[in-house]
Structure 1
Amino acid sequence: MVKRPGLAVYLAAQKLRGRARARARLDKGVAAGVEDADRGFERLGRSEVPRPDGPLVWLHAGNEGEALGFPELIDRLLEERDDLNVLVTTAAHDPTHPLEARLPSSVILQYAPYDYASGAEAFLAHWQPDLCLWSENRFEPGLIDGAARRGCELILMDARVPDRTGVRWVRGIRRSTLHHFRHVLAGDDNAAKGLQALGVDPDKIEMTGFLQEGIAPLPCSQAERDMLAEELAARPVWLAACVSGDEIRMVEMVHQRVIRRSHRLLLILVPEDKSKGPEIATALKDAGWVVGLRSVEDEPEPEVEIFVADMPDEMGLWYRLAPVSFMGGTFSGGPVRNPYEAAALGSAVLFGPAHGPWGESYGRLQDAGAARSVVDQESLAWSLELLLSPEKVAEMAAAAWEVTTNGAEATDRVVELAIEALDRKGV
């Protein structure tokens, strides 16, 4: 293919800017705390990890939150081909995200290089990927063009309409960059239409949905779950999952308001810091609540209004028992849990404006009707009152189930195309 002028100009400019510009960008990022000082050399295209022998599949996401479907996809690829080496790159530094812990130990996790010619060329020369599975919404034209020139087949998955950022997207760059992808797997119908409008060959586009976020349902004792479910009987229940700081007072005030209309309503309050359970329970009792405390073997008996669940590793139990879960940390800015934990167990999700590393997940669940965003105490109370309707919460629970399972088709299709690509290359 003859490159369009926009892409040719961009690639020439990146060569002129060179290594000094990349170094300056890295230094600025380290100073701002958005780059990893200990691994900054990876952003310049270098690596301390040798390229393993054998075929190498390279998966790329813009940030670790966008790579939530990678663990399940990688597991499936390795089931099909146990000789594969897998490299995962992200463009953003996020030390709080648990992606590394969720990947197989054999997977190599690196930061992607900046899209300057020297870094992109050094990265590609070192890793020599046989196949690239790209899921970032922003593209790096030099990196993608360089991979294609080296004979690396590229597949765009979880595809959305790419970001348009400043002067870098001069005329022709997006279309030329998208041309390098052999297959474009759109996340939804709007993305499929938008990508076609950008010039992607309609024959390349498939509307598959987003990758399956392979989070295994959190475990619990089935006997314990059955016993508590029987004890709760038909009581309405909501969960405040891992709340801290001012959130505890906020959920108390919300509960105080909503219980006036639903007198048997039970709040299960899970503190972020489990050691503070007794302290929280005492403060609630002093405020006039009837409180149960899990760590002293209390039960959520009919008269209990707030049950403080302060034992570790029991989130799977509480998500199963609560039709509605408010995700802690989404107001306080503290640690935020993956909302798919709740959604996968049939609990409708309420969340505030702070998403931690899970912004993509909260957005997908909200778009699917499985989660609702709230902005303050008033809107949290209103949403909770709405979800006390069995019909409404059942509707959201069904949407949660659908969105947590429908990614299997997209994952299946990526695996199929990846194996075909490797077979075509003879590796």
Structure 2
Amino acid sequence: MARSLTLGAWLALRRGGHTAVPPPERPALGPGERLVWLHGSGSKGALLIPALSGALAADGQKARIVVTLDDPGEPASGPLTVALPPDYRQPVRAFLDAFRPDVLVWAGAPLRPVLLSEMRERPMLRLLVDADEQTLTLAEGGWIPGAVSGLLPVFHHMLAVDHLTAQTIERLGIKPDHIEVTGTFEPLLSPLPCNERDRRDLAATIGPRPVWHAASVPMAELHDVIAAHRHAARAMHRLLLILAPARAADMAAMAETLRDSGLRVALRADGEEPAPSTEVYLAEGPGEAGLWYRLAPVSYLGGTLTGGATDHPFEAAALGSAILHGTRTSPHAEAFARLTRAGAARALRSGQALGHAVEALLAADRAAAMAAAAWEVTTTGAVVANRIAGLIRERAEAA
């Protein structure tokens, strides 16, 4: 496919005019090992290494993965991360000559015209994955259809996050057999651990009682959680709340506030277990979240009503707990949004809505359907990683 005039003009502007940058050293490779270059949007690339390396290892492939950063001015974050060169011909060529990757996995980042154009004749497999609306733009020029359509043929295969993106790629001139819809290439979070004996004993102690969990709750949200529990408990006999403070230092103050409000409280820190009359089981802090997510079919993620949330929602989703959250979801806003769009989480505009949501999810057994949807979202990253590993293997077998 011929280059568009727009892309040619862009490349002409980038032939010179930039000081040379020392290229990175090529990592030493073991016997049969390939150098896989993973480039992700922002800092996402480094977070994707476990998913991709695990998929390659499971497929029997030996690979050394190195990540480049989307921002050339961003400092390297570890031994597997190097800085991307400025998008000018001289530093790009020096980078590619020294680096000599066997595979490029371009994951959801805006396109770099000079860098990608210089790869056309180089012997490497080039995959565009996690492709979405942002990917189909230039890193410094935004949406320029002629330039984007001239760059996409650089890639041998493309994995789009949704059908709309796949259709856009096809309209830009790529044949359908080079495009797949696989969903988002998300970092894989290892399931939070728990003591299995504790889980088994507590599950037996709680028995058939309905239970919900408020995770990493700051003091500023305690009254909302208390009000929510009182509301839901009016409709659900013997409802138990497992409450985990955001800070262990707040445990004593929370216990006092809970008791002052008339609730019967058992403290895990004192070695207590929830008795039949216990209304709130107060955890020591956020350290046993893996245990509580496994026990409770519904979890409210604390800090999302007032700000300061720290828990990644995939931690709850991966363990089968349906998620309730407020609107203050930074720094995991995109993960919350994905779960909400999939029907795996429910957003609340205020603390007053929390009790109604807990009641609705537990009473209608809606939590099970939400947990199933959450599983689909949290395992998409593994599906995409496995497909990438398969494409790399297919290329090696065809060589």
Shorter-chain-normalised TM-score: which range? Answer: 0.7 to 0.9
2:34 corresponds to 1:59: no
Alignment check: 8 A CA contact 1:45 1:112 kept: no
Bigger helix share? 1
Aligned to 1:9: 9
* Segment drifting more, 257-266 vs 219-228: 257-266
Structure 2 residue runs of 5 or longer lacking an equivalent are none
Aligned to 2:67: 88
1:77 to 49, 53, 56: 56
Aligned to 1:280: 254
Aligned to 1:297: 271
Matches within 5 A, 1:263-342: 263-310=237-284, 313-342=287-316
Partners of 2:22 and 2:346 in 1: CA distance? 43
Partners of 1:199 and 1:342 in 2: CA distance? 41
Give SS of 1:224's match: helix
Aligned to 1:349: 323
Structure 1 residue runs of 5 or longer lacking an equivalent are 20-43
2:127 corresponds to 1:155: yes
Aligned pair in 2 of structure 1 residues 131, 64: CA closer, same or farther (>3 Å)?
Answer: same
Partner deviation per Cα, 1:111-169 (whole Å, 9 max, x = no partner): 44443445544443442222111111522222222333433331012222335579543
Give SS of 1:154's match: strand
Aligned to 1:50: 25
Task: Give 1:347 deviation, angstroms.
Answer: 0.6
Aligned pair in 2 of structure 1 residues 212, 297: CA closer, same or farther (>3 Å)?
Answer: same
2:357 to 371, 380, 383: 383
Alignment check: 8 A CA contact 2:106 2:127 kept: yes
Paired residue type of 1:291: V
2:182 corresponds to 1:203: no
Partners of 1:53 and 1:262 in 2: CA distance? 62
Query: Normalising by the residue count of structure 2, what TM-score does the alignment of the two structures yield?
Result: 0.86
Give SS of 1:314's match: helix
Give SS of 1:234's match: coil
Partners of 1:71 and 1:326 in 2: CA distance? 28
Give SS of 1:388's match: helix
Kindly tell me the number of residue pairs found equivalent between the two proteins: 390
Alignment check: 8 A CA contact 1:339 1:361 kept: yes
Matches within 5 A, 1:247-262: 247-262=221-236
Aligned to 2:116: 144
Aligned pair in 2 of structure 1 residues 335, 392: CA closer, same or farther (>3 Å)?
Answer: closer
Alignment check: 8 A CA contact 2:161 2:184 kept: yes
Matches within 5 A, 1:212-231: 213-231=187-205
Task: Give 1:56 deviation, angstroms.
Answer: 1.4
Paired residue type of 2:4: R
Task: Give 1:15 deviation, angstroms.
Answer: 4.4
Task: Give 1:285 deviation, angstroms.
Answer: 1.7
Percent of aligned positions with the same letter in both sequences? 37
Partner deviation per Cα, 1:259-307 (whole Å, 9 max, x = no partner): 3333422221212212321222122222332222211112222322222
RMSD, aligned α-carbons:
3.0
Query: Normalising by the residue count of structure 1, what TM-score does the alignment of the two structures yield?
Result: 0.80
Partner deviation per Cα, 1:320-365 (whole Å, 9 max, x = no partner): 0111112223344325222221111111112233334433432332
Paired residue type of 2:295: L
Partner deviation per Cα, 1:92-127 (whole Å, 9 max, x = no partner): 69x9xxxx7xxxx9x612344443445544443442
Give SS of 1:256's match: helix
2:385 corresponds to 1:416: no
Partners of 2:398 and 2:118 in 1: CA distance? 20
Aligned pair in 2 of structure 1 residues 362, 419: CA closer, same or farther (>3 Å)?
Answer: same
* Segment drifting more, 125-134 vs 212-221: 212-221
Aligned to 2:80: 108
Aligned to 1:24: none
* Segment drifting more, 334-343 vs 60-69: 60-69
Partners of 2:51 and 2:62 in 1: CA distance? 17
Partners of 1:380 and 1:116 in 2: CA distance? 53
Alignment check: 8 A CA contact 2:248 2:284 kept: yes
2:168 corresponds to 1:194: yes
Aligned pair in 2 of structure 1 residues 126, 360: CA closer, same or farther (>3 Å)?
Answer: farther
Task: Give 1:3 deviation, angstroms.
Answer: 1.6
Partners of 2:335 and 2:384 in 1: CA distance? 16
Alignment check: 8 A CA contact 2:231 2:356 kept: no
